[in-house]
Structure 1
Amino acid sequence: MNTAWMFAAGALAAAAVGYQRVLRQPILNWGATDDEVNAALPGDELLPDPDGVSTRAITILARPEYVYPWLAQMGPDPRGGAYTYDWIENLLGLHMHSADNVLDDFQHPQIGDEIGLGPNTMRIEIAEPDHAFATRSADGNWVWAFTLADRHDGTTRLISRNRFRLPRLVDRLGMLPMEPGSLIMERKMLHGIRDRAERLAGTGVHVT
């Protein structure tokens, strides 16, 4: 191995170590408190031995009943989208169109309902209005769960947790760029849900 290759390999190794030690946890746990990161949450039981976990959270100035409708209708057209960067989602062929209004047809998700996300099919596993919503991929390697923690002061902590299993080397390598990319998308999503929920709360309209 020549000197240039050795230098490049060393730089990559140092970058990987730095990412693991300094950046990875803030990326995976953006917005979440230590207690939220360490808490057992609804949906954890759906993938008990993950290779990785992210827990991200945001405070919403609205009660849980104004937050849950946006979770219930998430998904590709004709569902309500993902409230993130639609143009990026659609470059991946996901057909996302983030709705700014509550879609009555998708307010009563049922256990077993399926939502297509590109090559993934997500099955609804938990649908507890104003409390929790979770989906699991068809291969069982990904669980995406949301918990709505009522703070009893008119606000809600919305906690998004991803648990994933990486059975192949290509999956583990692919996750390295996915982690910071997922923060960009999920941070936008959490802000999008927050803004929509706070606007809905301002109208005083209750979704049934």
Structure 2
Amino acid sequence: MRKKTIILGVAGTALALQPALNRWCRNWGAEENEIEGPMPGDGLIPEPGVTTTRAVSIDAPASAVWPWLVQMGSGRGGAYTYDWIENLFGLDMHSADEILPAFQNLKVDDVLPLGPSGPPMRVAVLEPERALVFRSEDGNWVWSFLLREKDGVTRLISRNRIDVCGAAKVFYDVVMTPASLFMESRMLHGIRDRAELKHR
């Protein structure tokens, strides 16, 4: 009886904490004004089923961060996250530790490669050293980056808006949101570390 009570207590606590944990996973590193504020590309999916807004501070100007963003992609600069995990899914990611001149001329409508089987992402918005937005060709996913610089420190804000509902939304909330935080926090730190190192 005692064991059953403990199990029920743990399960009840987990359920009670789940909304708070989910919010933390969705908004890791972001300040309230960044979570609630608009981002370039929001209008491409006006009412998403899932939204994540994550951010990191970088001790470097936006001009030092931007080159790392525009060269992302498989066969390009990679994703600055756990390459070995990405490559388990056949994404062919190899994160660069240098700025690659060949991939600095990104333009609107260019494709961000996410491996041979990944969803094709096209550049929807590009404002140099400020905003970069990708949209999946099926229109169900928008991934936006915003750079806000103040006193030589840049906030790098990443937002995902995904058009899902029903059981798919539950799956995203329970499984994909924590998993994406694991990968995206590493990506944001990867960009931060590279930009700060090269800016010194």
Give the TM-score taking structure 2 as reference length.
0.89
For residues 84-99 of structure 1, the aligned pairs below 5 Å read 84-99=81-96
SS in 2 for 1:140: coil
| Pairwise CA RMSD | 1.9
Output the CA distance in 2 between the equivalents of 1:182 and 1:14.
Answer: 24
How many Å apart are 1:94 and its aligned residue?
A: 0.7
> Structure 2 stretches of 5 or more lacking a match?
1-6
Q: Distance in 1 between matches of 2:28 and 2:50?
A: 15
Q: How does 1:67-78 map to 2 (within 5 A)?
A: 67-77=65-75
Post-superposition shift, 1:15?
4.2
Structure 2 residue 151 is matched with structure 1 residue 135: no
Letter paired with 1:148 = L
**Distance in 2 between the 1:190 and 1:174 partners?**
24
Equivalent position to 2:53, from 48, 55, 59: 55
Separation in structure 1 between the aligned mates of residue 162 and residue 15 of structure 2, nearest angstrom: 20
Q: Tell me how far apart the structure 1 counterparts of residues 166 and 108 of structure 2 sit (CA, whole Å).
A: 29
Equivalent residue, structure 2, for 1:114: 111
Aligned to 1:5: none
Measure how far apart 1:167 and its partner are.
Answer: 4.5
1:184 equivalent to 2:182? Answer: yes
Against the structure 1 CA distance between its residues 119 and 168, is the aligned structure 2 distance closer, same or farther, given a 3 Å change threshold? farther
Deviation at 1:25, TM superposition (A): 0.7
Query: Alignment identity in percent?
Result: 48
Number of the residue aligned with 1:200: 198
Distance (whole Å) between structure 1 residues aligned to residue 149 and residue 126 of structure 2: 16
Return the alpha-carbon distance in structure 2 between the equivalents of residues 13 and 48 of structure 1.
Answer: 34
Letter in 1 for 2:191: I
What amino acid does structure 2 have at the position aligned with 1:197? A
The answer (yes or no) to whether the contact 2:50–2:169 under 8 Å persists in 1 is: no
Listed one character per residue, the Cα deviations across residues 26-61 of structure 1 (whole Å, up to 9, x for unaligned) are: 110000010110111111122111111111001000
How far 1:136 moved relative to its partner?
0.5
SS at match of 1:124: strand
How many residues were matched structurally?
191
Q: Which residue of 2 aligns with 1:147?
A: 146
Counterparts of residues 22-33 of structure 1 (less than 5 Å)? 22-33=20-31
CA contact (8 A) 2:80 2:95 kept: yes
1:172 aligns with 2:169: yes
Q: Take 1:104 and 1:172, find their aligned partners in 2: how far apart are those partners?
A: 39
Structure 1 distance, partners of 2:8, 2:57, is 42
Match of 1:36 in 2: 34
Q: Partner of 1:120: helix, strand, or coil?
A: coil
How far off is 1:13 after superposition?
Answer: 8.2
* Counterpart-to-counterpart distance in 2, 1:68 and 1:196: 11
2:4 counterpart residue number: none
The amino acid of 2:77's aligned partner reads G
User: What residue number does 1:126 align with?
Assistant: 125
Cα distance in structure 2, aligned partners of 1:14 and 1:186: 27
Partner of 1:65: 63
SS at match of 1:24: helix
Deviation at 1:173, TM superposition (A): 3.8
Q: Secondary structure at the match of 1:157?
A: strand
Q: Which amino acid in 2 is paired with 1:110?
A: K
